[in-house]
Structures are given as structure tokens and as C-alpha cells.
């Protein structure tokens, strides 16, 4: 694995300042608007060409194994076009959906500049905090202008405008911000007592919002997983056991005191009972149906899959009574296996391994942040489409490259 050991700060002051602004706005856009996010990601990729050491950095970035894994994974999708019988629009849609895997080297080059990494995460954190306070104010004031599924929603002359994110995204991003703030405190990056009080207060506010005001099982589970990962890193086994018991007790208290959590558990139980009774048109019932049908699709071409963009057309062939047309199975692993086979899925798992391996050789706090990012995406994508979703998929590649492109990385063979 190659590690960049020099500080390749852009030599042009004007371009450097523009890069910092682009990084901040890109981070801010993640939790704000999909359209704004797409514009900023394109701008970020384009701006990487203006780095004064672009040619050198691009060549060296290609020596990183996790980038090789990302490129190989995207190449599988390109090759799988050859045997895909899907409509051309679906094929192109899938290639565009995964395009940031191809652009990994350019994103890596952009984030080699230390100021860009800091600006990106600062913008991200600021927007997440704004959304948390808006969400809380919406519920506490009774105005209910911040919707669980869409965030802020309005229409101007028939044109729909959605700002900030719904519960699944907001919960995950809030949890990620909480974990990052905890790591910064534990690593001594926040030393002033007044600053610690402010940060701990923000962590408490985010916690209350996630578990008591915002619905979404995925975000709640991932939040607790992040806390567990932090405990595993900092504690010995005796303390880990004690922390786990505390976490279980805390979970019980949250379940007892949070109507949102109780409602989520109750809905899940009712969904399963309805499915067992023959009614599958519920949240969990549909997912179970998608999984079973996806396994049927995979079994028809397990090694190389049905080709890029083929899932929807292959699902329609099943003529399922519950839902005749499904764009994705709500599990990235099943989606990849259906389209690019177990071979392609194996390449993807290899990419995740290489990314996780490189995170272990990164200095703190990037090391633990990258580990949490990768592990929680691995877990969430069992029952969601975090890697393929435009919002979370783009954020993963951006954040991963930002964390793993640090100049402080330790050189290893």
C-alpha cells in the first residue's frame, strides 16, 4: 500500500482558498439538498485538476489498494453491460449511480490538501447541527414544519423544494457527528473546559433528538453500534463488559421512555405477524418479499449476474403479486449479486476489506472515524441501500477518501 508522506498543499493561494470553499459547501450540501450536493460533487471533482501537483498526486493515488479496489469494482459494472438485457436507461442509471467509485482517484487528490478535509467535515457538521435544531424546534413548538420523511418541504409555482433530510439520513448523520465529537474529546483535540461543555451539550441534544423525536430503526441501531465501536477501541475487556451492560441498560431505559422507539418495535412485530398471516404489504413484509425474490434472481445466474441495471427488469419477470416492479431489493449485497454476480460481490467485499485495512494504518482521529464509517455502512446495507443511494453513496466515497488521504498515514508494506 502506498502512502503519500509529503504535504502537497496547493501552491496557488487563490486556488487553495477556492478549494476550501468548495470542500465546505460540499460537506454542507450532504445534509441539505440532493441537487446542491450533485452540483458540489461535480465541482469538487473538477477542481482536483487544478492542483499544482495534480499529475504526481494522481499517479501516487493509484498505488493505494483501496482505490484499486474501487476502480476494479466499477470495471465489473462496465464489463457486465455486455450481458445485460436491461433497458439502456436502467443500465446507464446504474453506471451513473456508482460513478464515484470510478472518480475515487480524483476525489483522493482533492482531499490530500489538509485544509480541504477540515473544511468538508466542518460544513457537514454545521448543516447536521442546523437540521437537528430545526427538527427539535419543529416538534417542540408544535409547528411541525420539519417532516420525518422529507425535512423542510415547500412548493413554489408547482416546483417542489426539499431542504435537509428525512429521518433515516438525519439519524445516521447525527450519530456520525456524535461519534466524531466523542473521539475528538477523547483524543485531546478539544482541551478547553468551556469548549468541552459546549460539545457535550451538543452531543446530549443530538442524542435526545435521535431517540426521542425522530423515528427510524436503522439510525437508532447504528448510533448504538458507533458507541460500541468507540468502547472497543478505548477500553480493556473488563471495562467493555461493564460498558456493554450500561449500554444495554440505557437501551432498556430508552425503549421504556421513548414513544418513537416503542412505536418502531411495535410496528416491526405487527409487520412480522401480518407477513406470517399472509399479508406482506407492510414495511418489513415487503423487505422479506424482496429478499426472497432477489435470491431467486441470483440463483438463475449466480456467478456473473444478469448484467448492469438488470434488477428491475428481472424482478418484473417474476410477476410477484405483492409488488410487480421493484427498483432495488433494499439490500446492496443482494442488488450487487443479482446484477454482477457473486464474482462482483466478492470484488466489492474485497474493496471494503482494503478500505478497512488502510483505516487501521491511519493516525487518529481519522483512523477510528474511517473504521466507524466503513463498519456502519457494512451493517446498514444488509437492510438498506446505503452504498447505492445517491445521497449516502456519494457521502461514503467523499468521506472515505477524505479520511484515508491524510498525509499523516503511516507507511506500511
Upstream peptide bond of 316 is cis (omega within 30 degrees of 0): no
Contact residues for 343 (Cβ-Cβ < 8 A; gap 6+): 76, 303, 304, 305
pTM: 0.88
> Which grid coordinates belong to 357?
485495512
pLDDT tens by residue, 108-152: 999 998 899 999 999 999 999 999 998 888 888 887 777 766 666
pLDDT higher than threshold 80 for residue 338: yes
| Distance of alpha carbon 196 from alpha carbon 190, whole angstroms | 6
Average pLDDT for 19-45: 95
> DSSP code of 82?
G
| Distance of alpha carbon 218 from alpha carbon 173, whole angstroms | 12
Q: CA dihedral defined by 61, 65, 66, 70, rounded to 10 degrees?
A: 90
Would you state the pLDDT for residue 413?
Answer: 31
| Distance of alpha carbon 358 from alpha carbon 350, whole angstroms | 12
Would you state the pLDDT for residue 139?
Answer: 82
Instruction: With cut-offs at 50, 70 and 90, classify the pLDDT of residue 232.
Output: confident
pLDDT higher than threshold 70 for residue 154: no
Query: Do residues 311 and 338 touch, judged by C-beta distance below 8 A?
Result: yes
> Which grid coordinates belong to 107?
476525489
Contact residues for 118 (Cβ-Cβ < 8 A; gap 6+): none
pLDDT tens by residue, 263-316: 666 666 666 666 556 555 666 667 778 888 899 999 999 999 999 999 999 988
Q: For 168-313, list the strands marked E by DSSP.
A: none
Would you state the pLDDT for residue 268?
Answer: 63
pLDDT higher than threshold 90 for residue 90: yes
pLDDT higher than threshold 70 for residue 336: yes
pLDDT tens by residue, 56-70: 889 988 989 999 999
Identify which has the larger pLDDT, 168 or 48. 48
Amino acid at each position: 500500500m502506498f502512502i503519500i508522506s509529503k504535504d502537497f498543499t496547493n501552491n496557488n493561494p487563490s486556488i487553495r482558498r477556492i478549494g476550501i470553499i468548495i470542500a465546505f459547501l460540499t460537506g454542507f450540501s450532504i445534509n441539505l439538498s440532493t441537487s446542491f450536493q450533485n452540483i458540489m460533487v461535480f465541482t469538487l471533482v473538477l477542481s482536483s485538476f487544478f492542483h499544482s501537483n495534480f499529475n504526481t498526486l494522481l499517479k501516487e493515488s493509484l498505488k493505494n489498494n483501496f482505490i484499486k479496489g474501487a476502480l476494479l469494482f466499477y470495471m465489473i459494472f462496465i464489463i457486465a453491460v455486455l450481458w445485460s438485457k436491461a433497458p439502456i436507461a436502467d443500465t446507464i442509471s446504474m453506471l451513473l449511480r456508482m460513478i464515484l467509485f470510478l472518480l475515487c482517484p480524483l476525489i483522493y487528490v482533492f482531499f490530500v490538501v489538509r485544509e480541504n478535509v477540515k473544511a468538508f467535515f466542518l460544513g457537514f457538521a454545521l448543516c447536521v447541527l442546523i437540521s437537528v435544531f430545526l427538527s427539535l424546534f419543529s416538534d417542540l413548538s408544535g409547528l411541525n414544519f420539519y417532516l420525518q420523511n422529507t425535512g423542510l418541504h415547500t412548493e413554489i409555482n408547482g416546483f417542489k423544494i426539499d431542504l435537509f433530510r428525512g429521518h433515516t439520513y438525519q439519524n445516521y448523520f447525527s450519530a456520525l457527528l456524535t461519534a466524531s465529537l466523542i473521539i475528538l474529546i477523547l483524543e485531546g483535540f478539544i482541551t478547553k473546559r468551556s469548549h468541552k461543555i459546549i460539545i457535550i451539550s451538543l452531543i446530549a441534544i443530538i442524542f435526545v433528538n435521535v431517540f426521542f423525536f425522530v423515528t427510524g430503526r436503522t439510525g437508532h441501531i447504528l448510533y448504538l453500534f458507533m458507541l460500541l465501536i468507540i468502547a472497543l477501541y478505548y477500553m480493556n475487556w473488563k471495562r467493555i463488559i461493564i460498558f456493554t451492560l450500561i449500554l444495554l441498560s440505557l437501551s432498556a431505559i430508552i425503549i421504556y421512555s421513548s414513544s418513537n422507539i416503542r412505536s418502531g418495535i411495535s410496528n416491526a412485530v405487527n409487520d412480522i405477524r401480518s407477513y406470517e398471516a399472509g399479508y406482506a404489504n407492510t414495511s418489513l413484509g415487503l423487505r422479506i418479499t424482496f429478499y426472497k425474490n432477489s435470491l431467486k434472481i441470483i440463483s438463475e445466474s449466480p456467478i456473473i449476474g444478469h448484467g448492469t441495471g438488470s434488477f428491475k427488469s428481472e424482478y418484473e419477470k417474476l410477476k410477484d403479486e405483492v409488488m410487480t416492479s421493484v427498483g432495488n431489493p433494499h439490500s446492496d449485497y443482494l442488488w450487487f449479486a443479482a446484477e454482477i454476480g457473486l464474482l462482483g460481490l466478492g470484488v466489492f467485499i474485497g474493496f471494503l476489506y482494503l478500505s478497512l485495512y488502510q483505516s487501521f494504518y491511519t493516525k487518529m482521529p481519522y483512523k477510528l472515524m474511517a473504521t466507524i464509517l466503513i463498519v456502519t455502512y457494512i451493517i446498514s446495507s444488509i437492510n438498506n441501500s446505503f452504498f447505492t443511494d445517491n445521497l449516502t453513496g456519494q457521502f461514503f466515497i467523499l468521506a472515505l477518501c477524505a479520511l484515508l488521504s491524510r498525509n499523516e498515514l503511516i507507511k506500511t508494506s
